[in-house]
């Protein structure tokens, strides 16, 4: 007797992202109760399963949904506000004043919805967010059936979210308690950077992390200026964090463009996860993350877009291409970060970095059905000698056809199923007009 399942997806190719670097041809996926029940050759699947929802994805490729391991979702509403500036000028003279003036629960809700819509349409099914009002971001993620790690921001000075680091930590613990049983949302501490968080809050976070097993994500070694200023106080930032006892396998270091041999040895020794944001780093001239050296040292490297205010898009396929190409130039080796490794950085490595690789990041029996389907029949993708090459070296975001999170279809034929696109556009325009008018009066 055939097993009844919720859906059967029949594809020309499946890239499950496994250690064999498999490319399965003419295979199908059985989905039931939000999980992957089985993956079999298409000519065998109907011998085992039946479903009212058979989907024939001719000339399409199925792969895990992409995982954007670092960003600031609501900052999509600041897209293009201040360009072509170095990091500290960009932050201190433009972004921080704008945030002080405009960030509110409504701003975060609308900006997060805009970011989620952009990410879903380009194949991202899970993202890590570090921004103010994380409680509002978590509500928005849940409402739209996305998957996310929400990093509660912690800084020494007043922000729209908290007056200081202690209040930020207190509020983060409340958000964590509220979201503890949410299957789509995981809470993390988000101390902004070594230069904005002092020693005592970091010691407190180290203790809380050990007690509660809450991940920590932090911008680290982002610019040469950050490192040289820290050295004047006696320690490079990574060495300082080691001394404070905060480094470990649940620590996610974002950017790391300035890393010497000793830094890399320290990161590897503590099994710190690195989140590489190549396009934001290039735009802000922050430096180059030594991805090839990190991978050879055994460091897990994931991919992020950073916020749309410094990128200016949330296209993780584009990030894959940039990461692979940039790594070759930095290493002086065309074999550095081959195409499959770039895909792994944007999927399974992202899940490992966020501590959710038992749930998502690859297409494996028992994992959540977080799946994207990509149209490989477009003029720009032909001929297809090796689909993995196309996924990385050909821009693919606009070729995403369908997106499922937990087996629920959120994009069908390129159209968002749960978000009113026209309403979202109108809200974004209204914010733009308000912010533009407000800036012109200053």
pLDDT in tens, 361-392: 999 999 999 999 999 999 999 999 999 999 99
> Which pLDDT band, with edges at 50, 70 and 90, does 88 fall under?
confident
16-34: average pLDDT: 97
> Is the pLDDT score of 29 beyond 50?
yes
127-138: average pLDDT: 98
> Which pLDDT band, with edges at 50, 70 and 90, does 441 fall under?
very low
Percentage of the chain lying above the pLDDT 70 cut: 99
| 66-354: CATH number | 3.20.20.140
> Is the pLDDT score of 290 beyond 80?
yes
pLDDT on residue 437: 86
pLDDT in tens, 150-165: 999 999 999 999 999 9
Could you state, in order of their start, the residue ranges of all structural domains in the chain? 3-65+361-406, 66-354
> Which pLDDT band, with edges at 50, 70 and 90, does 442 fall under?
very low
Handedness of CA 349, 350, 351, 353 (dihedral sign): positive
Higher pLDDT, 440 or 355: 355
- Which segment of 82-86, 203-207, 342-346, 392-396 scores lowest on mean pLDDT? 82-86
Handedness of CA 379, 381, 385, 387 (dihedral sign): negative
67-88: average pLDDT: 93
> Is the pLDDT score of 4 beyond 90?
yes
> Is the pLDDT score of 93 beyond 70?
yes
pLDDT on residue 86: 84
139-149: average pLDDT: 98
pLDDT on residue 440: 43
Backbone φ and ψ of 275, nearest 5° = -110, 115
**Cβ atoms of residues 241 and 202 within 8 Å:** yes
427-431: average pLDDT: 96
221-242: average pLDDT: 95
264-274: average pLDDT: 98
Backbone φ and ψ of 39, nearest 5° = -135, 120
> Is the pLDDT score of 439 beyond 80?
no
> Which pLDDT band, with edges at 50, 70 and 90, does 91 fall under?
confident
pLDDT in tens, 172-196: 999 999 999 999 999 999 999 999 9
> Which pLDDT band, with edges at 50, 70 and 90, does 213 fall under?
very high
Residues facing 152 on adjacent strands: 189
> Is the pLDDT score of 35 beyond 60?
yes
Residue 241, classified by CB atoms within 10 Å of its CB into exposed (0-12), middle (13-18) or buried (19+), is buried
327-339: average pLDDT: 96
51-80: average pLDDT: 96
Tell me the CA end-to-end span of the chain in Å, nearest whole number: 72
Whether 3-65+361-406 and 66-354 share one fold: the answer is: no
Percentage of the chain lying above the pLDDT 90 cut: 94
Burial annotation 200-232 (CB, 10 A radius, 16+ → b, else e): ebbebbbebbeeeebbbbbbbbbbeebbeebee
**Cβ atoms of residues 70 and 254 within 8 Å:** yes
State the average pLDDT for the chain: 96
pLDDT in tens, 381-423: 999 999 999 999 998 999 999 999 999 999 999 999 999 999 9
> Is the pLDDT score of 135 beyond 50?
yes
In angstroms, the CA 73 to CA 314 distance is 9
Tell me which CATH homologous superfamily contains domain 3-65+361-406: Urease, subunit C, domain 1 (2.30.40.10)
């Amino acid at each position: 007797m055939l097993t009844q399942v919720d859906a059967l997806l029949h594809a020309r190719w499946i890239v499950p992202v496994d250690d064999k670097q498999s490319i399965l041809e003419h295979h199908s996926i059985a989905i039931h109760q939000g999980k992957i029940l089985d993956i079999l050759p298409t000519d065998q699947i109907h011998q085992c399963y039946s479903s009212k929802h058979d989907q024939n994805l001719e000339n399409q490729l199925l792969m895990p949904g992409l995982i954007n391991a670092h960003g600031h979702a609501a900052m999509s509403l600041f897209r293009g506000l201040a360009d072509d500036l170095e990091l500290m000028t960009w932050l201190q003279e433009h972004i921080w004043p704008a945030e002080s003036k405009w960030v509110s629960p409504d701003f975060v809700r609308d900006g997060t919805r805009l970011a989620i819509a952009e990410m879903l349409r380009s194949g991202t099914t899970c993202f890590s967010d570090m921004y103010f009002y994380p409680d509002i971001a978590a509500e928005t993620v849940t409402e739209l059936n996305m998957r996310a790690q929400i990093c509660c921001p912690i800084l020494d000075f007043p922000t729209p979210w908290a007056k200081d680091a202690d209040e930020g930590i207190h509020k983060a613990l409340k958000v964590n308690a509220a979201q503890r049983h949410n299957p789509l949302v995981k809470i993390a501490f988000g101390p902004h950077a070594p230069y904005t968080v002092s020693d005592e809050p970091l010691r407190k976070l180290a203790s809380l992390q050990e007690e509660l097993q809450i991940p920590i994500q932090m911008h680290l070694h982002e610019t040469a200026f950050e490192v040289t200023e820290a050295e004047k106080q006696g320690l490079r930032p990574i060495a300082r964090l080691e001394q404070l006892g905060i480094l470990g396998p649940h620590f996610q270091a974002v950017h790391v463009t300035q890393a010497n041999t000793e830094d890399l040895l320290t990161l590897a020794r503590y099994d710190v996860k690195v989140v590489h944001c190549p396009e934001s780093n290039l735009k802000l001239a922050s430096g180059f993350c030594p991805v090839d050296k990190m991978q050879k040292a055994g460091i897990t490297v994931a991919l992020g877009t950073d916020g749309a205010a410094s990128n200016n898009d949330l296209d993780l396929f584009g990030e894959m291409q940039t990461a692979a190409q940039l790594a070759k130039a930095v290493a002086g080796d065309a074999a550095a970060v081959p195409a499959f490794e770039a895909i792994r950085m944007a999927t399974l490595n992202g899940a490992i970095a966020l501590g959710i690789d038992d749930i998502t990041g690859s297409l494996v029996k028992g994992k959540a059905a977080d799946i994207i389907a990509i149209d490989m029949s477009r003029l720009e993708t032909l001929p297809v000698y090796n689909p993995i090459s196309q996924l990385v070296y050909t821009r693919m975001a606009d070729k995403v056809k369908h997106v499922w999170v937990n087996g629920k279809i959120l994009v069908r034929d390129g159209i968002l199923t749960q978000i009113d696109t026209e309403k979202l556009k109108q809200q974004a325009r209204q914010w733009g007009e308000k912010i533009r008018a407000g800036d012109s009066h200053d």
